[in-house]
Amino acid sequence: MLKTLITRARQGQRTMAYPDAAPPSMPAHFRGVPKLDPTRCPDGCRDCADACPTEAIRVVDKAMAIDLGRCIFCPECESACPQGAITFTTDYRLAASRRDDLVVAADAVLKLAGALDEKLRRLFGRSLKLRVVSAGDCNACAADVNVLSTIGWDIGRFGIQYVASPRHADGLIVMGPVTQNMRLALTKTYDAISDPKIVIAVGACAISGGIYAGHPEQSGGAASLVPVDLFIPGCPPHPLTILDGMLRLLGRIEEGTR
């Protein structure tokens, strides 16, 4: 026991200080907010759009736009463009309050998620209980949602906790494209939560259907069945992207701060 206590004392503080201090460094291979430069593609060749596996890129009259709600942040578009018109930055701040805000055009600034209204912030700002619903996801999003409860991230310090019953919840985290087998389960879980309540869609599948978009056995994401208050893109989103979105929703990070 003494050896254990000494080892723990030597480890020191293990929980990151974010958002009161700088966030942890992102790995070099991380792909975050994309940067579009149409001047590098004067002919509008559409090679990037043709390479996109989820049809997230639109090129109309040489104007480029990318739907981060459909994007799985693979490097196919970046690799397909010899001129470098699309590059991915390491900016992890991606969450938005409105689905339309995830469609980013060239030179446009991604509008990040805003805080809940004052009444909801009073209710949820210091204590937010969330029921996690896996609606057909591959477990990649689930892994990054779950890691937030570990000692390194410790979302409990913000009053955010995952609960086992919707009767104890203030809202939902939804992952996956919502398969036909999960439609009823999702709506029943949503209905079981007392008003007011919030819904957070995590990952491309929960936002748009992701790589399964258009398949008859899925519903195209959570918003097809329940109202969504926070969209967190990625495949899967980095834990820091998820945490940043949640804190913006609760007003812990100022709206528009990048």
Structure token digits, residue 170: 């203030």
Burial of 36 (0-12, 13-18, 19+ CB in 10 A): buried
Give the residues of the chain that fall short of pLDDT 70: 8, 11-12, 255-258
CB atoms < 10 A from the CB of 194, how many? 10
Strand bridging mode 34-36 / 86-88: antiparallel
**Amino acid in the structure at residue 151:** I
pLDDT at position 84: 87
Asked whether the beta carbons of 174 and 199 are under 8 A apart, the reply is yes
Peptide bond into 236 cis (omega under 30): yes
Burial of 32 (0-12, 13-18, 19+ CB in 10 A): buried
**CA–CA dist 170, 161 (Å, integer):** 10
**CA–CA dist 229, 223 (Å, integer):** 9
pLDDT at position 88: 94
Interval 122-155: pLDDT, tens: 999 999 999 999 999 999 999 999 999 999 999 9
**CA–CA dist 201, 236 (Å, integer):** 12
6 vs 2, 9, 152, CA distance in Å?
6, 5, 19
245's enclosing H/E stretch is helix 239-249
pLDDT at position 4: 80
